[in-house]
Amino acid sequence: MAWGEVSMFREYRKLWMVLGFFILLSPLGLLATGTAFGEWGLDQLPDEVGFIPAGLEKLADFWQHSPLPDYGIPGLDATFAQSAGGYILSALVGCILVAGITGILYKIVKE
Amino acid sequence: MHIPDGYLSPQTAVPFVIGMIPVMGVAVKKVQSSLKKKEVPVLAVGAAFSFAIMMFNLPIPGGSSAHAVGAVLLAILLGPWAACIGVSVALVIQALIFGDGGVLAIGANCFNIAFIMPMLGYYTYRLIRGKADALSTRAMAAAFIAGYVGLNAAALVTAIEFGSQYHLFQAADGTPLYFPVPLKVTLAAMMSEHLILAGPVEGLVTALGTWFVAKNYPGIASDNSPAGSV
């Protein structure tokens, strides 16, 4: 990255700091343990709506390659500390990917 | 609000994916011509902020949860088309890396959360703020209401997409094939959560975010302010 671009990002230091603050606080989002309406997994559907619709069941696992499913490290969710660690890692990885890809997309379309 | 795979029929999900391609094309064109180079880091950090804010689940009485999005904040700061791109990137990463929201449903989710929400929020903000200063009480109120309206508009279209499946797609014996909840129920559930709880939180995030950027980076807030920097 050219020096000009580094300083361009530095100019907004305060915004990145706020983002970092939110990443560290993200485990607060784990305190709401309920699943959002209409986002139930196959295991929750019988309780929520009484059955698993046939078409839904067929498509539910269309994508199975999420490395950090539900913002956690697979297998590491026995304690709140483990979940919180996975959640912070997910927030960090997600923010780096989203900011990085947004910046790269801009570079690609501009050139 | 992130529709998982299977909740929408392919006949619903796929047209949304195809329909969002030209929308993204327009967004890229608009951003190419209007977004200044010095604003690119703001779009990058803003898109990441939207990703992060969506991780803050709010408990809903009755065992459900909801969250704010930050799409209207981005729209106010950088314009609705830049917000459309930034929030779409966040949604794609959520679906692929974290399994939050479907991959087949990515078109519908981008339409609801990255298109309808920033568009409606942005024009609500313009309308209410008028020519008032970026840091005025009126501009703050405009940002709050815009966030509230934007999130609820997204919840409304999501509820319609959810509820329509029950009525449109049933097996021969009448059993629903996809999301098996009637429209009036999806409307009541989605709207009560977002009108009462998530909407006001979105409003707060939007107003505080707008205030913070306008205070620290007056150039960003005023350059894109609909009324110009008067």
State the pLDDT at residue B124.
98
Instruction: Tell whether A42 is covered by a domain.
Output: no
Instruction: Tell whether A44 is covered by a domain.
Output: no
Instruction: Tell whether A37 is covered by a domain.
Output: no
Query: How many structural domains does chain B have?
Result: 1
State the pLDDT at residue A9.
74
Instruction: Tell whether B4 is covered by a domain.
Output: no
Instruction: Tell whether B44 is covered by a domain.
Output: yes
pLDDT top residue among A5 and A76: A76
State the pLDDT at residue B37.
85
- What are the beta bridge partners of residue B58? B66
Facing A59 at nearest CB: one of B5, B85, B180: B5
State the pLDDT at residue B62.
84
Residues in A 23-52 with any Cβ partner in B closer than 8 A:
23, 25-26, 28-39, 41, 49-51
Structure tokens at B130: 């008028």
**Cα distance from B25 to chain A (closest Cα, Å)?**
11
CB contact under 8 A, A63 and B103: yes
Instruction: Tell whether A39 is covered by a domain.
Output: no
State the pLDDT at residue B36.
87
pTM: predicted TM-score of the whole model, two decimal places: 0.95
Structure tokens at A18: 């706020």
Q: Establish whether this prediction's ipTM goes over 0.90.
A: yes
CA separation (Å) from B174 to A54, B10, B177?
A: 12, 18, 9
Q: How much of chain A exceeds pLDDT 70, in percent? A: 93
With beta carbons less than 8 A apart as the criterion, state whether B163 and B184 touch. Answer: yes
Q: How much of chain A exceeds pLDDT 90, in percent? A: 84
State the pLDDT at residue A45.
95
Rounded distance between C-alpha atoms, residue B4 and residue B55, angstroms = 16
Chain A residues in contact with B99 by the CB 8 A cut-off are: 63, 66, 69-70
pLDDT digits (tens, 9 = 90+) for A26-40: 999 999 999 999 999
State chain A's mean pLDDT as an integer: 92
Query: How many structural domains does chain A have?
Result: 1
State the pLDDT at residue A2.
58
State the pLDDT at residue A10.
83
Given a cut of 50, is residue A101 above it in pLDDT?
Answer: yes
Instruction: Tell whether B78 is covered by a domain.
Output: yes
Instruction: Tell whether A35 is covered by a domain.
Output: no
State the pLDDT at residue A111.
72
Would the CA dihedral through B101, B105, B106, B109 be positive or negative?
negative
Q: How confident is the model at residue A3 (pLDDT cuts 50, 70, 90)?
A: low
Domain that holds residue B180: 10-223
State the pLDDT at residue A4.
60
Rounded distance between C-alpha atoms, residue B189 and residue B159, angstroms = 8
- CATH label of the domain that carries residue B49: 1.10.1760.20
Instruction: Tell whether B83 is covered by a domain.
Output: yes
Would the CA dihedral through B78, B109, A85, A69 be positive or negative?
negative
Query: For chain B, which residues score pLDDT lower than 70?
Result: 221-230
Instruction: Tell whether A5 is covered by a domain.
Output: no
Rounded distance between C-alpha atoms, residue B127 and residue B109, angstroms = 26
Long-range contacts, stretch B192-195, CB < 8 angstroms, 24+ apart: B193/A37, B193/B60, B193/B64, B193/B66, B193/B155, B194/B66, B194/B151, B194/B152, B194/B155, B195/B152
Domain that holds residue A82: 12-30+49-110
Q: How confident is the model at residue A1 (pLDDT cuts 50, 70, 90)?
A: low
State the pLDDT at residue A58.
96
Rounded distance between C-alpha atoms, residue B223 and residue B99, angstroms = 37
